[in-house]
Amino acid sequence: MSSPYNALIEPDTPNELLSGHQVYNPVDFAPAATVAEPIVRQSTVNPDEKYSVFSFEYYQRFLDLDTSDVIQRTLVAMNPFGPRRSFVNLMSRDSDCPRPDLYGPLWISATLVFILFFSSTLLNLIQAGGQGSFVYDFSLLTAAAAIIYGYTIVVPIGLWLLLAYYLGIHGLRVDGDPRSHIRGLWGLVCIYGYAAATWIPICLINVLVGSILVGLGVGDLANNILRWTLVAIGAIWSGVFIAKAFLGAIWDGQLASSPDPAKARKSVYMIGAGVAVLHLALAIAVKVSFFSGNKLGDIGV
């Protein structure tokens, strides 16, 4: 007679030995390999649609660009040895950003205003050498804003009025190519705004070299020669860019389309002379206001 406890029990399978919990199959959470598609920038404003000059959409088109576009235009503006039409070609219809922009000029001008005030104040503080109390001249900040924004906004407006209403030039086409041209007022503001970028390294070099000369005990004459040299380099550097981008386009456009080449050539020379005089005035204003320096006895009260 068999015992009631002599029952045959089937052994558990390996999956049933896990504390009685339900067993789940492993899941691979790794994303499937896909081919990345290029991101195409889509503008929210139609560049060909007419907007009121008092509307936000009118100015939004001039701010609709990538950081890479601003960097590229800045590097071209700071390279005086580049091709003559390289900057204008960046605004052509074949480029990634086929229009002038205001984003770069606004930020470059604001940065230059701060750099002019900061570099001039810092160098004067270094020259003081701890003698007496140093007085910060915040009127330099106002002067920097007036000079820089006046040059990058007021001067292009004056040139645009001269071109549009005196010479009848509303758009400057390079070598007659409709894809490469400067579009009116905002094209001029764009050129002059990016031309201001060359003054930023000039200001930083002035602080660096000037502080070294002060540390070496070099006199005021050497410091003044250094500053005049830096101002001359900055003026020539930015002037070459303006001549290539703006005056070069005028030369090509006027001589290519004018029925009277001699008269057109005379107009170009007059505009070039005016641009040179205004550029020289900017250089002198920068030198007198921010690169003059103060003698040690004149700093502090």
170-226, pLDDT tens digit by residue?
555 444 444 444 557 888 899 999 999 999 999 999 999 888 888 887 777 888 888
Residue-wise pLDDT tens digits, 114-130: 999 999 888 888 877 75
Kindly state the percentage of the chain with pLDDT values over 70: 64
Locate all alpha helices (DSSP H) within the chain, ordered by sequence. 56-60, 67-77, 86-90, 103-128, 139-149, 155-165, 184-195, 199-215, 220-242, 248-257, 261-290
- pTM here is 0.75
How far from 51 is each of 26, 41, 170, CA to CA, in Å? 59, 21, 18
pLDDT score at 299: 37
pLDDT score at 55: 67
pLDDT score at 198: 95
Task: Select from 171, 164, 117, 115 the least CA-distant residue to 139.
Answer: 117
Exposure letters 4-22 (e unless 16+ CB within 10 A, then b): eeeeeeeeeeeeeeeeeee
Amino acid at 172: L
CA distance 23 to 15: 7
User: Which residues does residue 177 pair with via DSSP β-bridges, in sequence order?
Assistant: 174
Residue-wise pLDDT tens digits, 129-170: 756 666 778 889 999 999 999 999 999 999 888 877 776 665
pLDDT score at 35: 45
CB-side neighbour CA atoms (13 Å) of 255: 13
- Min mean pLDDT across 77-86, 179-188, 257-266 is at 179-188
Phi-psi region of 181 (alpha: psi -120 to 50; beta: other; left: phi over 0): beta
pLDDT score at 300: 36
More confidently predicted of 120 and 252 = 120
More confidently predicted of 270 and 24 = 270
- What residues contact 135, with CB distance under 8 A and at least 6 apart? 299, 300, 301
- What residues contact 249, with CB distance under 8 A and at least 6 apart? 85, 88, 172, 173, 174, 181, 182
CB-side neighbour CA atoms (13 Å) of 301: 3
Is the model's pLDDT at 79 over the cut of 80?
yes
